[in-house]
Structure formats: structure tokens, C-alpha cells
Structure 1
Amino acid sequence: MSQVWSAPVRFAECDMQGIVFNAHYLVWADEALTPWWVEQGIDWSAYRGHQYVVVASTLEWRSSARHGDTVTVDAALEKLGRTSLTVRFEIRVGERLCCTVRTTYVCLSDGASTAWPDDLRARLAA
């Protein structure tokens, strides 16, 4: 797993107690996804006609991020299926785990679920 995204916690992401509102953890996972694809060597512009969409996300909290903290998001492939994959995002402040987000994406072509392209699948499986 490698760090793929980092940012300071902004005031607008927090409640009145200075604790990050839960929906922002999903935003941070989404922010980390693009650099994760790049880290895998995958350029989505080469896959015209294919796209990926979220089908499910789960969140497990361990501690809170607060205004003034810097969060880092580490991403790793957790499961690779024929038409779907799950990425695990670990959101931390320093070494302290705040939240684990697991998001499952499905590959689409012409609006229908389809197998991941062979070369993309090979890169992810490596």
C-alpha cells in the first residue's frame, strides 16, 4: 500500500466541535482514486468505451480527524473480480488510523457491466 493522496483538514469539512463530518471520508477516498490509477500505470483515456462506476462503499471509523490535521490516504487493491474490483482506502492522521473505506467499482461498456479489459486486468493483477 502506498500513499496516494494527502491534504490538510479544512474548516468547511468539520462540524462545530472541529471533527470531520463523515461524508468527507468518501470524498477523500474518491480524491485518492485518480492517483491510484496512475500509480497502477493505467491511463483511462486509452480505454474509450469503458468506464467504472461505484456500486458500493463501506466505512469503518477508528478515530476522528480534526480541523488542522493533515490526512493521508493509502489505497490498495483488495479484490479483483471479472467485472468489479474493490479498493481499500486507509485514511490516517500521522500513524493513527481514522477510517477505512472499501469501495467496489464495476466496469461498464455501453451502459452495461462488462469484464475489465485484459491489459488493465493484467496490470492490476501483477
Structure 2
Amino acid sequence: MSFSFPVVPRYSEIDQQGVVFFGHYLTWCDEAFTAYQASLGYPYPDMIADGVDIQIVHASLDYASSVHWGDLVVIGVENEKVGTTSLTSRLVVRRRASDDQPWGDAVTVQLVHVCVDSTSFTKVAVPERLAKGLAVARA
């Protein structure tokens, strides 16, 4: 994955089992996707100014290992598909316990966003500026 977003697991994100509570992975992925979108040259505020917003209509998470407090974490983001009104992204939460440990995949997430008008929230086409950025990133 060509884009990665660093995350620092906060103590408040750890549950009684000593691992990151599952809901926080979605928050991290939302932040990572927003940073990814900005890296494509079409930051979220620009899209809103153009009258378009995006909403998540599907999210799936597959767990391979747990993230603990103090782990080093990065989230890789890549585009899987751009449709007429939607886009599908794959995000991989990678972790390592310390600098001398290897990186390992912890959670793989798939997000499907639908583009909507920012005032009426009805479906609209994926903005050309976003579609072009995603196409370049995928190439």
C-alpha cells in the first residue's frame, strides 16, 4: 500500500481485555481515509465546498491479531473500486510491539462510501477530482 497513516493507541481506547476496543478501529480508519483523500489532492473540506459529501454504507472488519496499548500502528489505505456514485477502499491496520519486532497485519477493513449532495443527502456521482486522484493512486 502506497499510503500509510500512523496511529498512536491511546490508553482510553484499550478495553478490559487489554486490547483496542473494536469500535476504535473504525474511527482510526475514518481518520486514515480522510488523510488519504487529502493526499490525493482533494481534501474533504474542498469536496464539501463543491457540494458533495460521502457516507459510509458498508464496513467490514477481519481480525488477525489484537492491537495493544504501546504498539506501533500504521494504517495502509488503497482504493479497490470506483463506481458511479460509490467507492470501495481497503485499509490494513498493521502493528508491531516494538522497534525490534516485525510488522504484522492486525485488522483488514473494507469501507464502501456513497457520494451524496451535501445538503439534500441524495446520491450524486463521484466527483471527477476524487475519481482521478483514486485512479492515479491505483496505477
Scaled by the length of structure 2, the TM-score of the pair is 0.83
Residue aligning to 1:115: 125
**1:38 aligned residue:** 38
Matches within 5 A, 1:1-126: 1-47=1-47, 48-94=50-96, 95-109=103-117, 110-126=120-136
* Count of aligned residue pairs for this structure pair: 126
Whose strand proportion is higher, 1 or 2?
1
Gaps of 5+ in 1: none
Q: Is the 8 A contact 1:3 1:72 kept in 2?
A: no
The alignment-based identity, stated in percent, is 35
Deviation at 1:16, TM superposition (A): 2.1
Taking structure 1 as reference, are residues 54 and 18 closer, same or farther at Cα in structure 2, changes over 3 Å only?
same
Deviations 1:82-108 (CA, angstroms, capped at 9, x unpaired): 100011110010321000111100011
Deviation digits for residues 47-94 of structure 1 (CA, Å, limit 9, x no counterpart): 321111111100000000011112110100011111000111100103
Q: Deviations over 1:7-56 (max 9, x none)?
A: 22221111223111111111110110121011111134443211111111
The corresponding residue for 2:99 is none
Contact kept, 8 Å, 1:11 with 1:18, in 2: the verdict is: no
Structure 1 range deviating more: 4-13 or 61-70 = 4-13
TM-score computed with the length of structure 1 as normaliser: 0.91
Q: Distance in 1 between matches of 2:128 and 2:15?
A: 45
**Cα distance change on mapping 1:12 and 1:45 into 2, 3 Å:** closer
Q: 1:15 to 1:46 in 2, by over 3 A?
A: closer
